[in-house]
Chain A
Amino acid sequence: MAERDPVWPVLSKPSNPHDSAPLHVSGLARYADDLPEPAAMLHLAFGQSSHAHARITAVDLSAVRAAPGVVAVYTAADIPGANDVSPVAGDDRLLADGEVLFVGQPIFLVAATSQRAARRAARLGKIDYAPLPAHLTVEQARAAASLIEPTQHMARGDADAALQTAPLRLTGGFDMGGQDHFYLEGQVAVATPGEDGQMHLLCSTQHPSEVQHLVAHMLHCSSADVMVEVRRMGGAFGGKETQAALFAAAAALVAHKTGRPAKFRCDRDDDMVMTGKRHDFRVDYEAGFDAAGHVLALKLRLASRCGATVDLSPAINDRAMFHADNCYHLPDIEIASERLKTHMVSATAFRGFGGPQGMLAIERIMDDVAAHLGVDPLAVRIANLYGPGRDVTPYGMTITDNIAPQLIDRLRTDSRYDARREAIAAFNAANPVLKKGIALTPVRFGISFTTTHLNQAGALVHVYADGSIQINHGGTEMGQGLYIKVAQVVADVFALPVGQVRITATRTDKVPNTSATAASSGADLNGMAAYNAAMTIRDRLTAFAARSFGCEEVAVLFTPDGVQIGSECLDFGTLCRKAHMGRISLSSTGYYATPDIAYDRATHKGRPFYYFAYGAAVAEVAIDTLTGEHKVLAVDILHDVGKSLNPIIDIGQIEGGFLQGQGWLTTEELVWDDKGRLLTHSPATYKIPTASDRPRHLSIRLWDGENVQPTINRSKAVGEPPFMLANSVFSALNQAIAATAPDKRSLPPLDAPATPERILHAIASHRAA
């Protein structure tokens, strides 16, 4: 249970726009690169590996040192403490030491008087390499048994036996690509040396505490000597959970060595080459099912390219397994999850954290079963939904909040799915070149860090004697609206307008030992921690007021018109002033740890999630069968955020998450060459959706319901789940492609992303099948 017995009011929260919106639109919101630069500021760039896997045999940096503007050049030997910027495994080097593991890996660090001078000089290093075997593809890594950890298995029942007895069987497989985060603000960190060995870092990171701890180890000082501050990020999406540490550590090293402030503002192309991305996956499956479409047995093999180091890949691949059931009860199931070590930049966290890959796999299996039976895939999906008596997941967690059946039913009606499916069949019969497809796919996303100890948060609330309030917590603001949500929670505790709450930058000296703002957990954890802090102060004020005015504590009420104390009514500021004079502490920390969760990773059994967030989407698409081009024509979304903490913010997350998912599955293609070089390292070659890729018809509705768990305001997390609503686009594309040979009882072999080239290939293969 929560520390505080949750008897708080569940309110209809207002749609307060983002607290920084006026600053955003006026250009006055300050990001890390926007503060005035001291004259002594140094600018940094990395010299990068040109090999995917090699031993470094010689390093000649004389030309780098002699280049105009260069002040210092550092290699691994110059690092005073640990040469490590990794989150868990200790295997990510700040600067390569003897061996390089991927193209773009930092080998040396240049500090110069301008960013351009540093970047130019960084290209002048002469590195001699002795190439080593590079495992780049799934096949190469498999053949070499190159893994970051042993293959993990999650199983229930006897999948092999159930496959044997199932009336029908199919096998299939497909590939899905990775994804670059393409946060608009690239990686950036500014280090300013303080007195007596202290270091201040202004950094664009989702995980200030981790940056603090890594920099302290790297500089061989204590965590108390390092302070990391983040006011806001210009987008992150998981890409600044672990990946920011590299740049922060580089800036800190230079500041430490030179005594001068140092800024690492990474160029976009370098950023795309040097930082991790979403894992690409190879999926293979064997499914047993019956004529009604019930999946009776499933053997699923998920293989991801994790890159050269561990990073967060174990947890990401675990989440792929956790979501490989999505909304479906799969009685006999065996999931094997291969985590391949490849000589590429380490894949990392990205919105959904493996969930999208696992979920897309099972959605494709649903499509495949439907294609084999020649029925509407929605019928197969509905036939397999969790329900009473079939409500335990493959990892042994009982689902107690299942609303998928009702939600799907509502969306099916509201979107006129059945009538449109018929209209589309008629369209396809009449049109030889253009074909349409429609699909409804659901989402059930588990909320909590699956690494249980991360599910904790702290907050710090100050009430000043004038009645103004400062709020600080461990969560970071990357555009998702966390700050305004938490501010609203605190304002509501005192029944004050949210404008009376001053939101302050996340700093490791205010709230220590924080978890990353990730796993959609920001508002759940920090909102509750801030609530607890504010309630502590309110309880003190209540006791003081009752004592001072000689009434019962229950007669003290915080209302929008002031604090009602018996028959008196005081302005909040007046009460605060009196309380201060009465020597009452008006500052408090607050803490929250998610209750009731426990998970045994050794057996992959337990309750990893506190609750689930649900949603569903209907997508209508069209393809040009001559060119393979496609267009997403219409999307209807019904999504569950519990009792919303802020509807406009939540709807913004849903729309943004959906379109990002659409990009992952359509236009965003990462291409590496056979030397392990990323060819799509700029927006010229890597294409995220533009305004015209947004479906012209896009409706988003919030499911009317409360979280069954006592979360803050009975709300639900919203950051990641909507991303997977875009699976509907991929399924609809399959439907459109299938319409080129409508009588075939097979699923077109479409890989993601569905580029024109892949769609053309799938059409040709489907026709030939």
Chain B
Amino acid sequence: MSGLRFLLDGAIVEMADVDPTATLLDHLRYRMGRTGTKEGCAEGDCGACTVLAGTLNGDAINWRAVNACILFLPMLHGKALMTVESLGSDKALNPLQACMAANGSSQCGFCTPGFVMSLQGRCIGASGHDLPVADILAGNLCRCTGYGPILEAAEAIPSLPQDDSATISALKALASDETLSGSHGDRRWFIPRTTAALADLLSAHPDARLVAGATDVGLWVTKGLRTLETLIFIGDVAELQQMDESPDGLTIGAGVRYADAHAAFARLHPDMGELVRRIGGLQVRNAGTVGGNIANGSPIGDGPPALIALDATLTLRSAMGRRTMPLEDYFLGYGQQDRRPFEFVESLFVPRPAPTDIILIGKLSRRFDSDISAVCGAISLRMDGDRIADARIAFGGMAATPHRAAACEATLIGKLISEAAIDSAIAALAEDYSPLSDVRGSSAYRMEAAASLFRRLWHRESGVAISLLALEPEHG
């Protein structure tokens, strides 16, 4: 197989003997001399390294803002790349850059290229561009400006022309259906294109590390300084990118990025859409996948509690076939999941809630945007008339795994929704969870925060305003 290739400013960049966990950021800065892209944190939280990566999608190109600091070079294979240097020089700024320069959008300037690239993505219709500007910028931190002059520039320049025809032709020439593989010393890496090829590779390399968006694994390398021996990059497996919405529910391939699933989740339930909006910044949702968020088994992943409450089922795949299980059964214990070495997460099915279901999903964190939950919970009540026929309640951040609140659920079944019923459910929470105290909150706070979601549900059903984010000032 030939080496890795990607497209940069119209030219093909070929790389031989690639360290499979070398980051795009380091490659740009220290190999290519493109130092406009900055390292602010090397963990995908600050956005100073934001670049646009373009993937061929039929006859079009999907641009996405991503963090170069946790993007491994093989993940860029067959894609187009735009960095801040691609836009314009200081003597020939593009309209967005010119507006930002004139408007005081930069002070120290270090985060600025990242903001430019996030907003350039918005201007050319990149993934997630239909969100409000502040949401698009949730993954870009600025410590100097207070953001106002950046938001103003964004409002002034909402779109820019973009001619991708040459890029599309060039990407088509790079396209391939074959598995790409390479080695770097003793370390091996693979880029399969089909689930069958992926299944075979996993059978041959059961100890291989699967990498989808690298929003988690990236930190093992940049912060944990780990050396990963064998890697299989699954971002180019087309079958894992499938998404199917039907009246029954939503089927999501494990490789679907959160940004691409956002709208479909919001159509399942508005709270689910709001939850997804608050998972990472856009760059993280543009890389991180629904499947990865489940497969890594984190006790604080935001997807699983809600998906468990919504009764999602998970399909695992291997060369021997498929296995389907309720999502809640996948999480066995801290760091332990019901996935055999040769299996991979293939897809997820989330049944569509009934119109009469009462659902509340809540995430509590220090900061609304791009923060890790102290507690993330979901309450789903199936109603039979006025009575609760079934209850599915799950929390993350309350135990070693995301899991259901069985005792709490039991108190609710058969009840009318009332303050007394809510109180008894809250009282039962102590039987279901005994959370730890850590950096995100004390045990007592976590219990109180979990209880608050029940009270929030009660107030909402009683018609009381509960949405802080919907409030307007008394300013007029």
Chain A residue nearest to B367 (CB atoms) is: A687
Q: What secondary structure prevails in chain B residues at the interface with A? A: loop
Closest beta carbon of chain B to A635's beta carbon, Å: 9
Tell me whether A479 and B109 are in contact (CB under 8 A).
Answer: yes
Q: Is A152 an interface residue (CB 8 A)?
A: no
Tell me whether B138 and A434 are in contact (CB under 8 A).
Answer: no
Give residues 385-426 of A contacting B (CB, 8 Å): 416, 420, 423-424
Binary A-proximity of B109-120 (CB < 8 A = 1, otherwise 0): 111110010000
**Known A-B contacts A25-B101, A27-B83; A691 and B147 likewise in contact (beta carbons under 8 Å):** yes
Q: Is A707 an interface residue (CB 8 A)?
A: no
Give chain A residues whose Cβ lies under 8 Å from the Cβ of B464. 431-433
Q: Is A683 an interface residue (CB 8 A)?
A: yes
CA distance A698 to B145 in the complex (A): 13
> Which stretch from A1-9, A177-185, A531-539 is at the chain B interface?
A177-185
Q: Is B46 an interface residue (CB 8 A)?
A: yes
Please pick, from B45, B105, B371, B459, the residue contacting A25 in the complex, using a CB distance under 8 A: B105
In the complex, the number of residue pairs spanning A and B with C-beta atoms less than 8 Å apart equals 298
Closest beta carbon of chain A to B147's beta carbon, Å: 4
Give chain A residues whose Cβ lies under 8 Å from the Cβ of B40. 184-186, 268, 683
Give residues 452-471 of B contacting A (CB, 8 Å): 452-453, 455-456, 459, 464-466, 468-469, 471
Binary A-proximity of B88-111 (CB < 8 A = 1, otherwise 0): 111101000110111111111111
CA distance A652 to B362 in the complex (A): 35
Give chain B residues whose Cβ lies under 8 Å from the Cβ of A234. 38, 108-111
Please pick, from A27, A269, A691, the residue contacting B134 in the complex, using a CB distance under 8 A: A691
Tell me whether B35 and A760 are in contact (CB under 8 A).
Answer: no
Q: Is A17 an interface residue (CB 8 A)?
A: yes
Tell me whether B445 and A37 are in contact (CB under 8 A).
Answer: no
Give chain B residues whose Cβ lies under 8 Å from the Cβ of A77. none
Q: Is A30 an interface residue (CB 8 A)?
A: yes
Q: Is B293 an interface residue (CB 8 A)?
A: no
Tell me whether B452 and A626 are in contact (CB under 8 A).
Answer: yes
Tell me whether A620 and B475 are in contact (CB under 8 A).
Answer: yes
**Known A-B contacts A624-B466, A648-B104, A658-B146; A23 and B90 likewise in contact (beta carbons under 8 Å):** yes
**Known A-B contacts A25-B93, A33-B35, A627-B456; A655 and B43 likewise in contact (beta carbons under 8 Å):** no
CA distance A630 to B39 in the complex (A): 31
Give chain A residues whose Cβ lies under 8 Å from the Cβ of B370. 690
CA distance A115 to B286 in the complex (A): 28
Please pick, from B90, B150, B372, B474, the residue contacting A28 in the complex, using a CB distance under 8 A: B90
Q: Is B366 an interface residue (CB 8 A)?
A: yes
Please pick, from A420, A655, A685, A688, the residue contacting B143 in the complex, using a CB distance under 8 A: A688
Please pick, from A184, A237, A631, A685, the residue contacting B110 in the complex, using a CB distance under 8 A: A184
Tell me whether B144 and A479 are in contact (CB under 8 A).
Answer: yes
Chain B residue nearest to A657 (CB atoms) is: B146
Give chain B residues whose Cβ lies under 8 Å from the Cβ of A648. 104
Q: Is A36 an interface residue (CB 8 A)?
A: yes
Tell me whether A620 and B101 are in contact (CB under 8 A).
Answer: no
> Which stretch from A116-124, A352-360, A553-561, A571-579 is at the chain B interface?
A116-124
Give residues 422-474 of A contacting B (CB, 8 Å): 423-424, 427, 431-434, 436, 438
Tell me whether B108 and A235 are in contact (CB under 8 A).
Answer: yes
Tell me whether A31 and B110 are in contact (CB under 8 A).
Answer: yes
Please pick, from A420, A479, A656, A684, the residue contacting B474 in the complex, using a CB distance under 8 A: A420
CA distance A631 to B470 in the complex (A): 10
Chain A residue nearest to B42 (CB atoms) is: A268
Give chain B residues whose Cβ lies under 8 Å from the Cβ of A683. 40-41, 43, 45-46, 141
Tell me whether A21 and B100 are in contact (CB under 8 A).
Answer: yes
Q: Is B223 an interface residue (CB 8 A)?
A: yes
**Known A-B contacts A184-B38, A756-B364; A685 and B147 likewise in contact (beta carbons under 8 Å):** no
Tell me whether A757 and B441 are in contact (CB under 8 A).
Answer: yes
Tell me whether A424 and B474 are in contact (CB under 8 A).
Answer: yes
Tell me whether A694 and B459 are in contact (CB under 8 A).
Answer: no
Chain B residue nearest to A634 (CB atoms) is: B473
CA distance A658 to B148 in the complex (A): 12
Give chain B residues whose Cβ lies under 8 Å from the Cβ of A233. 108
A123, A416, A691, most chain B CB atoms within 10 A: A691
**Known A-B contacts A116-B225, A432-B459, A479-B109; A684 and B45 likewise in contact (beta carbons under 8 Å):** yes
Tell me whether B133 and A691 are in contact (CB under 8 A).
Answer: yes
Please pick, from B84, B365, B371, the residue contacting A27 in the complex, using a CB distance under 8 A: B84
Q: Is A679 an interface residue (CB 8 A)?
A: yes
Q: Is B142 an interface residue (CB 8 A)?
A: yes
Give chain B residues whose Cβ lies under 8 Å from the Cβ of A688. 141, 143
Please pick, from B106, B110, B138, the residue contacting A691 in the complex, using a CB distance under 8 A: B138
Please pick, from A185, A622, A656, A667, the residue contacting B146 in the complex, using a CB distance under 8 A: A656
Give chain B residues whose Cβ lies under 8 Å from the Cβ of A594. none
CA distance A387 to B323 in the complex (A): 79
Tell me whether B110 and A667 are in contact (CB under 8 A).
Answer: no
Tell me whether B106 and A690 are in contact (CB under 8 A).
Answer: no
Chain B residue nearest to A29 (CB atoms) is: B109
Q: Is B353 an interface residue (CB 8 A)?
A: no
Binary A-proximity of B430-463 (CB < 8 A = 1, otherwise 0): 0000000011111001001100110110010000
Give residues 185-216 of A contacting B (CB, 8 Å): 185-186
CA distance A26 to B89 in the complex (A): 6
**How big is the A interface, by class?**
35 or more
Tell me whether B116 and A184 are in contact (CB under 8 A).
Answer: no
Give chain A residues whose Cβ lies under 8 Å from the Cβ of B473. 420, 620, 633-634, 696-697
Please pick, from B43, B48, B102, B459, the residue contacting A21 in the complex, using a CB distance under 8 A: B102
Q: Is B429 an interface residue (CB 8 A)?
A: no
Tell me whether B146 and A694 are in contact (CB under 8 A).
Answer: yes
Give chain A residues whose Cβ lies under 8 Å from the Cβ of B88. 26
Binary A-proximity of B201-213 (CB < 8 A = 1, otherwise 0): 0000000000000
Give residues 476-503 of A contacting B (CB, 8 Å): 478-481
Give residues 665-709 of A contacting B (CB, 8 Å): 667, 669, 671, 679-680, 682-685, 687-694, 696-698
Give chain A residues whose Cβ lies under 8 Å from the Cβ of B177. none
Closest beta carbon of chain A to B107's beta carbon, Å: 4
Tell me whether A685 and B440 are in contact (CB under 8 A).
Answer: yes
Tell me whether B138 and A627 are in contact (CB under 8 A).
Answer: no
Chain A residue nearest to B227 (CB atoms) is: A120
Tell me whether A690 and B138 are in contact (CB under 8 A).
Answer: yes
Tell me whether A692 and B135 are in contact (CB under 8 A).
Answer: yes
**Known A-B contacts A26-B36, A691-B150; A433 and B475 likewise in contact (beta carbons under 8 Å):** no
CA distance A186 to B110 in the complex (A): 10
Binary B-proximity of A12-38 (CB < 8 A = 1, otherwise 0): 000001101111111111110110110
Q: Is A755 an interface residue (CB 8 A)?
A: yes
Q: Is A660 an interface residue (CB 8 A)?
A: yes
Closest beta carbon of chain A to B23's beta carbon, Å: 10
Give chain A residues whose Cβ lies under 8 Å from the Cβ of B471. 434, 436, 622, 631, 633
Give chain B residues whose Cβ lies under 8 Å from the Cβ of A423. 474
CA distance A684 to B100 in the complex (A): 28
Give chain A residues whose Cβ lies under 8 Å from the Cβ of B197. none
Tell me whether A651 and B112 are in contact (CB under 8 A).
Answer: no
B98, B365, B445, B471, most chain A CB atoms within 10 A: B471
Q: Is B140 an interface residue (CB 8 A)?
A: yes
CA distance A269 to B223 in the complex (A): 8
Tell me whether A479 and B368 are in contact (CB under 8 A).
Answer: no
Q: Is B369 an interface residue (CB 8 A)?
A: yes
Q: Is A629 an interface residue (CB 8 A)?
A: yes
Q: Is B384 an interface residue (CB 8 A)?
A: no
**Known A-B contacts A433-B466, A627-B449, A682-B45; A184 and B135 likewise in contact (beta carbons under 8 Å):** no
Between A and B, 24 residue pairs with Cβ closer than 8 Å are: A17-B102, A21-B100, A27-B34, A27-B37, A28-B89, A184-B40, A185-B108, A186-B40, A235-B144, A267-B223, A268-B43, A433-B466, A434-B471, A626-B459, A629-B364, A648-B104, A656-B146, A660-B146, A690-B137, A690-B147, A691-B133, A694-B134, A698-B148, A757-B441
| Shortest 3 CB-CB contacts between residues of A and residues of B | A27-B36, A479-B108, A234-B110
**Other contacts beyond A184-B48, A655-B149: 10, CB < 8 A:** A24-B106, A25-B93, A25-B98, A185-B110, A234-B110, A433-B464, A651-B104, A660-B143, A691-B140, A761-B445
